[in-house]
Amino acid sequence: MPVPFSLLPILICILTLLPPTTVIAQPFSRSLPINTTLKSLVYSGSGCSPGTVSSSLTSSALTLSFDNMYAQIGPGVPVSQNRKNCQINVEIVTDALWRFVVGWDASGAGEREMGTRIMGNMMLEEGVNATFSAGYEMLAGVEAGKSSSNTTFHGPLSGAFDQKLLALDGGEDGVVSKCGGGILRVTDQLRLMAPRNASVSGSLGPQEGSAKFVQETRLAWRAC
């Protein structure tokens, strides 16, 4: 039923006096929600043969440890050894009232930090470059798009490293699971490159002390 023209000024006055709508942000948790577990870990690729990957979960990160994510380049080294890859499906189950967000800093109030760090050991002669890239996506219940990050080392470099990756893309919210969690797919690629016909060598792989190549990815927990 149309509002009589004579009443419009009164309605406008009432709407002006109403308090503004308050938008409440979804809260983040600084601790691991109850009933949160790593339910399954499935992987395959040239850099992760069966039995060579382990995982752990804390309130702030998912950690993947690789025994044979190792690439090398140089005279006499087969081209197939210049790059390694691994695709990992990690199923994270949590309380139905929570979801996890990939690439956020859970230690603060949910501030964005595209947090992928890799730790290992390298020996790159001058002219040798090594690139590591990581891609993330949910296999179901996608709330945001895919996300990826990478880093490149330029020789000459030698020794242990602890390197944060540069975010390349992904939505403002990162990659978000459905309520109750889901399967996160991680796609890793390691590649060594050198000038054609150059007699230079290089390698990148596990840390000397632990014999593990470690990938740590930031997670946050957001209420549904």
pLDDT at 91: 96
Q: Say if CB 87 and CB 120 are below 8 A apart.
A: no
Strand ranges in the chain using DSSP code E only, listed in sequence order: 28-29, 37-44, 53-57, 61-66, 71-73, 83-93, 98-102, 116-124, 129-138, 147-154, 157-164, 166-169, 175-176, 181-193, 202-205, 213-223
The strand pairing partners of 217, in sequence order, are 62, 116
**What's the whole-model pTM score?**
0.82
With a cut of 90, say whether residue 153 has pLDDT above it: yes
Comparison of pLDDT for 83 and 107, the residue scoring more = 83
Between the ranges 93-97, 109-113, 196-200, where is the mean pLDDT highest?
Answer: 93-97
Q: Say if CB 78 and CB 178 are below 8 A apart.
A: no
With a cut of 70, say whether residue 2 has pLDDT above it: no
pLDDT at 220: 87
pLDDT at 144: 57
> What sign does the dihedral 87-90-96-102 (CA atoms) show?
negative
pLDDT at 117: 93
